[in-house]
Amino acid sequence: MVRSDLRNIAIIAHVDHGKTTLVDEMLKQGGVFRENQVVQERVMDSNELERERGITILAKNTAAKFDGVKINIVDTPGHADFGGEVERILKMVNGVLLLVDAAEGPMPQTRFVLQKALSLGHKVIIVINKIDKPDARIKEVEDEVLELLFDLNANEEQLNSPFVYCSGRNGTATLNPDEEGKDLAPLFRKIIEYIPAPEGDETGSLQMLISSIDYNDYVGRIAIGRIERGTLKQGQDIVVANYHNTYTPYKAKITNVYQFEGLKRVPVETATIGDIVALSGIENITIGDTICDPETVEPLKFVKISDPTIEMTFSVNDSPFAGREGKYVTSRHLRARLFKELLKDVSLHVEETESPDSFKVSGRGEMHLSILIETMRREGYEFQVSTPRVLFKEIDGVLCEPIEEVVIDVPQDYMGSVMEKMGMRKGELQHMEPQGSRMRVEFLIPSRGLFGYRSEFMTDTKGEGIISSVFHGYEPYKGEIPSRSYGSLIAFEDGEAVTYGLFNAQDRGTLFIEPGTKVYGGMVVGCSPKGDDIVVNVCKKKHVTNMRSSSSDEALRLVPPHKLSLEESLEYMADDELLEVTPKSLRLRKRILDHAARMKANAKKQQNQ
């Protein structure tokens, strides 16, 4: 049976190339919304964090209709840290739309996701987006895409993929870049004509691979996948099995079956081959499981999800300000929340440690873990995290470390400082080419070499540089990388920062706090350009004598503080520091708060070296 009334496609692209905006327009023109319905922009990024950062974190399923054909669209994450999502999603579809910015061209994450799609033999439609940008270079970008396909060993059919030229913002598409489009109909027609329709045996025994998991407090786990064979009915008895035999197959019953219509999940009685459906009622189901007919238990093969490359320690907040701002502060709360995250994020690993108050959390990159930290913080959790550490692996008796492929796009004037910093961090130059007045350079660099570099890079390039990275693989250990060249300014005592104390401290470095900020001894309040930590008294008030009045404080001029974001804080942290995370504040602090105890520990450490 061939389902000519159905197409399943995924949209793959680099971060910020307009993928979610294009899907918005496809939904509007695919009859999902009423003519006069008010719809927020980037409606697919339902998570508040996704909307703020302009990135897609979790894969989303939706569907539009055109000429009587239902098109299931899966919007995949473009950031490599969420690659676990991408690998699974591509198993559900028959083809992909490769979206490329008409000015930027293919970027590292485009390459990462495209490689996965090509290896599965998917057909590709290349969509050159943002053709209305003033700096669009359509012809060159076409050549770059073809070069990329060639590099990734695409087969002949994939090398002859059709091009569609779009403006996602205006909701127009055309097959000729010199013509002006009216709507997205050319794109819809090309999808229906070029992407194969799902086919299979609808009368055979049921087979459905679970590719994605959602979680709902009312119904528990919701499993999402595509029916590969047979027909599925509500209330049906099934067997859950796994290709890698990680457990004995067990029986279960499907409570509800949902299909995707626009942005809603619509309950249905039955679904058949090619349908992407969501199921509830199976308690411990996870990604990679296969739902089978009890008579024929044949689990489907599943792509193994890549291992984490970075770990951090999450622990209960034990600072002097602990418990003041958070709603969930105990180790029981922290443990329950981290293990709940595992229900839907398969790229994450959580391990218990010897201490009941600490947990080792491993993920696919700094971005992956910082999103988790920010999400928990918004939910009212209070905790502290350590510096990110890379996970080494022993391969054939050799110690290996994760390597990132970094693409840097900078104005030519700043190339010197970029090359120098990359060299210090053990970066190896792979490729370099001019693009107008800018240069595009590619490096292979150890993951630990990138810690703390992004904010430095933005300073070095006056905010004009673009840097993006993608996991490359494991290579033998590259040797020592010099740690950060600056020290911290540390508060001397508990109290409230005042103008006079801050004025005296700002000569020593850059401050992170402003007058009125509550501080405690051992808290990091600024950055010192010298390599050593300096203790400063930011709570020091001016003594009032009969010669001068305290009101003369008003004449003191303070440099505005540099308030660190979550990512900047994680990058800034030294090994002997922790980041205190609460719903209202981010505070950097020393592990050992007491000044004398800290000096003793440092002296002992230097003796042992």
Known binding residues for GTP are 16-21, 129-132
Cβ burial 443-472 (10 Å sphere, 16+ → b, else e): bbbbbbbbbbbbeebeebbeeebebbbbbb
DSSP output for 92-156: G-SEEEEEEETTT---HHHHHHHHHHHHTT-EEEEEEE-TTSTT--HHHHHHHHHHHHHHTT--H
d(CA 277, CA 291): 12
Dihedral (Cα; 420, 422, 425, 427), 10-degree rounding: -130
Q: Would you say how long the chain is, in residues?
A: 609
Binding residues: 16-21, 129-132
Instruction: Tell me if 136 sits within 8 A of 178, measured CB to CB.
Output: no
* Cα→Cα distances 24→140, 186, 260, Å: 27, 16, 15
* Cα→Cα distances 426→374, 403, 472, 479, 498, Å: 30, 10, 15, 8, 42
3-state secondary structure 406-467: EEEEEEHHHHHHHHHHHHHCCCEEEEEEEECCEEEEEEEEEHHHHCCHHHHHHHHCCCCCEE
Q: Token match 């240069």: residue? A: 439
The strand pairing partners of 443, in sequence order, are 406, 429
d(CA 382, CA 103): 42
Q: Which two tokens stand for residue 305?
A: 């999800």
* Cα→Cα distances 67→45, 70, 98, 193, Å: 27, 9, 23, 12
d(CA 206, CA 203): 8
| 3-state class (DSSP) for residue 75 | strand
3-state secondary structure 349-404: EEEECCCCCEEEEEECCHHHHHHHHHHHHHCCECEEECCCEECCEEECCEEEEEEE
What pairing do the DSSP bridges indicate for beta strands 487-491 and 495-496? Answer: unpaired
Element (H, E) at 221: strand 220-229
Element (H, E) at 488: strand 487-491
3-state secondary structure 41-68: CCCCCCCHHHHHHCCCCCCEEEEEEECC
| 3-state class (DSSP) for residue 512 | coil
